[in-house]
Amino acid sequence: MATRQRRAKGVSPKAARLGKRAQNKERTKKEILRAALELFSKKGFFPTTTKQISTRARIAEGTLFNYFKTKEDLALYFFEQELAGLTEWYRSQTKLQRSSLAEKLFAIIHRHLERISPYEEFIGAVYLRALQPVSKLNLLSLETQELNVRYLRFIQEVLREAEEEGEIPRVGDFGAYAFGLFHLAIISYWLQDGSPGKENTLALLDRSLKVANSVLRKGTWEW
Amino acid sequence: MVKERPKGQIGRGFRIGKLGLALTGSYLGYQFQNLFLNEQERPERRKSFNRKAAGQIRAELESLKGPVMKLGQILSTQFHFMPEETLTELAKLQMRAPAMHATLAQAQFKASFGKFPEEVFRSFTEEPFAAASLGQVHRAVTKHGQEVAVKIQYPAIRKAIEDDFKLLRSATLPVRVTGHATESMIAEIEGGMLQETDYVNEGQNIDFFREQLKPLNYVRVPVVHWDLSTDRILTMSFVAGEPLLDFIASQKPSQEMRNRIGVQLVEMFSLQIHRLRALHADPHPGNYLIETNGTIGLVDFGCVKKFSAGFIEIMRAFEERVWLRGEEQCRRMAGLIWGGGVLKKPRLALELLKGAINFYEMLFPGLKGGGRVVDFGDAKILNAMFQILNDNVRNKMVNPEFAFYARAEMGLYNLLHLLRAKIDTSSILEKFGGSDE
């Protein structure tokens, strides 16, 4: 233990250089994403060119390709960032942690929708693209698997809290998968929801979670 | 073996209700199934309804609340064709509205206002302090330090009401065929409920009543904060006081105080009917907040009825006791109340009119020289009114405009009954009736 601590403190100059480089790299990636999102929400996902993105991010177009081979890679990076942000937010919500499972799950999806709402057009485009079997954004593509697993683990963590407190019976991995599909379904509903403030989505989300909760608690499908 | 099918119109209504239930996820269908079960099935069904469902159904209804609750509230005060057990369950509903959890209430606030409550108010209490049937009310303090009540509507309630009425129209087909619930009556209730979903309209009602009720210095009406309101969010000044039932239970008011509050309630009602031609028509006891000095805080102005000239004429006919002027006047009065069609059945018309007049004289005995004080603690007034509504509905004689009026009137007598108030009603009528002409 003591040795490890000493090593951590006494970082070699090479490692420090590498660490700094990684940090810089991450900063550039974020800068590119920021520039891209601005363009996506202004011009749309499909019409935006990589040249426009690199100009806006003030980097050479070649450098852009070093970071993201395609716009799809950029989209994937966006979702990674979103998931990280969402997870971090959830863990910081101490009051929410004491709420019912239905409220926690409601809050997670609602927070997600709030976060992505400035990029609605972009998300819609990504949804369409993801339907293509050859797309990297497809739910079954290898590229999305890492992200999927990270998401499932996060939801599993939330469900496990409720399982351990006896709020719901054990639902295992199935619960996380089912919720993931529900989450996607809600996003597609939200994308086409034309009601004021998208309040239909809120009602659907609340009602569905209440029904699911009641089914889970009673351990029967007859509610 | 032939699968047994529900027979006839009643069975069809039952199936349509069930189908609608499955399609819309509305529990209204379940409530209405009870109406279509035949007499033999009903007792069985009722027992199981009560046994199994008492807690469970209510919890689930509460989770959907909104239209079901509101409609239940109207039906339970208005329509006497509901089985009593169902009425009891529905009556509980209106008292115990469920809460949107904090996250949903805040999300809905954001959806309608564009910002979260914590960005708008200095402080905002996540726990609601009162349930409104189409939403719930939270306490908050504005950035300027004013204490306010923020009413937040359950999301997409308007659409839910429209869906439920679509279902109601198909499910009550048998009832409509027999004429017990006319299309115009259903339309009147739907219109009223949809109006209640518009909080801008409610805010305007508050402004109107605050101005118009000024002559009654014991009435307190909130002030709308228009800059913090939308069609689904209504921010108004906080009105102090205890809901009437709580007030009676906790303060154990003297008979004198009970009478005083009763007189005030009747005066308020009379002023609205005779001068304003508009009525705060939500008789829920929770809408009257009483302070220890007996003043009345009036809240929830979603359901306001503005009366037509025809209705005012009916009121005047009662006041002037035109029936004393002979048969022609009686016919005119019946025609005003139930429409021209009633005159084809003169005997029925006379019978119904007699019932209405008897009831009126029971309410205002002083007008024909009897004792002046009416004891509302005696249930006979409520029972008589139930009887009249029942007779009207049974004989398919319902004036849709009365749907809201009767709901409010019944609500008033119910409040007076709870207060066990003794009131000189005739003097109040003399004070407010017809005096603006």
- Above 70 in pLDDT, residue B315? yes
Burial class for B39, CB neighbours closer than 10 Å (0-12, 13-18, 19+): exposed
Report the pLDDT averaged over residues A175-195.
93
Location of structure tokens 């049937």: B133
Among the listed residues A61, A1, A3, the one whose alpha carbon sits nearest the alpha carbon of residue A35: A61
Binding-face residues of B in 72-91 toward A, CB within 8 A: none
In chain A, the domains with their CATH numbers are 12-68 (1.10.10.60), 71-218 (1.10.357.10)
- Select from B299, B295, B301, B285 the least CA-distant residue to B244: B285
**CA distances (Å), origin A168, targets A219, B6, B55, B164:** 9, 39, 20, 31
Whether B418 and B341 map to the same domain: the answer is yes
- Out of A107, A198, A211, the one facing B111 most closely (by C-beta) is A198
Distances, alpha carbon A97 to alpha carbons A167, B128, B188, in Å: 13, 20, 46
Could you tell me which residue, A17 or B67, shows the higher pLDDT?
A17
Q: Which amino acid is at B194?
A: L
- Beta strands (DSSP E) in B8-114 are none
Query: In the prediction, which pLDDT does B133 show?
Result: 62
Q: Among A46-60, A108-122, B80-94, B360-374, which is the least confidently predicted range?
A: B80-94
Residue B189 within any structural domain of the chain: no
Six-digit token string for A159: 């469900």
Q: Which of A141, A143, A142, A144 is nearest to A132 (CA)?
A: A141
Buried b (16+ CB within 10 A) or exposed e, A71-105: bbebbbbbbeebbeebbeebeeeeebeebebbbbb
Q: Do B340 and B387 have their domain in common?
A: yes
Q: Distances in Å between the alpha carbon of B274 and those of B163, B195, B268?
A: 36, 23, 10
| Residues B330 and B222 occupy one common structural domain | no
Q: Do B297 and B423 sit in the same domain of this protein?
A: yes
Smallest CA–CA separation between A191 and chain B, in Å?
15
Residue A217 has pLDDT above 80, yes or no: no
- Domain co-membership, B257 together with B284: yes
Nearest-CA neighbor of B303 among B287, B277, B280, B284?
A: B280
CATH assignment of the domain containing B131: 3.30.200
User: Do residue B69 and residue B138 come from a single domain?
Assistant: no
Residue B418 has pLDDT above 90, yes or no: no
Cβ distance B160 to A199 less than 8 Å, yes or no, reads no
Q: Which residue has the tokens 């829920």?
A: B284
Judgement on whether residues B204 and B144 belong to the same structural domain of the protein: yes
Domain limits for position B209: 97-155+198-238
Q: How many domains does chain B have?
A: 3
Would the pLDDT of B8 be above 50? no
| CB-CB neighbours of A13 under 10 Å | 7
pLDDT at B202 over 50: yes
Same domain assignment for residues B375 and B305: yes
ipTM: 0.83
Q: Is the pLDDT of residue A44 over 80?
A: yes
| Residue B207 within a domain | yes
Does residue B72 fall inside a structural domain?
yes
The CA distance from A162 to the nearest CA of chain B, in Å, is 17
**B395 pLDDT higher than 80:** no
State the average pLDDT over residues A37-51. Answer: 88
Measure the CA–CA gap between B203 and B230, rounded to whole angstroms: 9
B218 phi and psi angles, rounded to 5 deg: -95, 5
Whether B395 and B301 share a structural domain: yes
Residue A136 corresponds to which amino acid?
K
> pLDDT tens, B335-355?
888 877 777 888 888 888 888
Tell me, yes or no, if B246 is annotated catalytic. no
Is residue B245 domain-shared with residue B134, that is, in the same domain? no
Q: How far apart are CA A133 and CA B283, in angstroms?
A: 60
Place of tokens 């308007």: B158
* Interface touch A199/B103, C-beta < 8 Å: no
Of B102, B104, B110, the CB nearest to A206: B104
CA distance B107 to B127: 14
**CA of A214: which chain B residue's CA is closest?**
B60
pLDDT tens digits for A96-133?
999 999 999 999 999 999 999 989 888 998 888 888 88
Touching A: B residues 90-109, CB under 8 Å? 100-104, 107-108
A200:B155 CB<8 A: yes
For residues B397 and B322, membership in a common domain is answered with: yes
Q: Which residue has the tokens 């005083």?
A: B260
How does the average pLDDT of chain B come out, rounded? 75
- CB of A167 closer than 8 Å to CB of A100: yes
Q: pTM, whole model, 2 decimals?
A: 0.75
Which among A107, A211, A223 has the least Cβ separation from residue B103?
A107
- Quote the pLDDT of residue B264: 96
Q: Flag whether B362 is in a domain.
A: yes
At CA B185, angle to CA B183 and CA B190, rounded to 5? 90
Q: Are residues B57 and B44 part of one domain?
A: yes
Q: Say whether A197 and B64 touch across the interface (CB within 8 A).
A: no
Q: Is A196 on the interface with B (CB under 8 A)?
A: yes
Q: Is A66 on the interface with B (CB under 8 A)?
A: no
- pLDDT score recorded for residue B196: 80
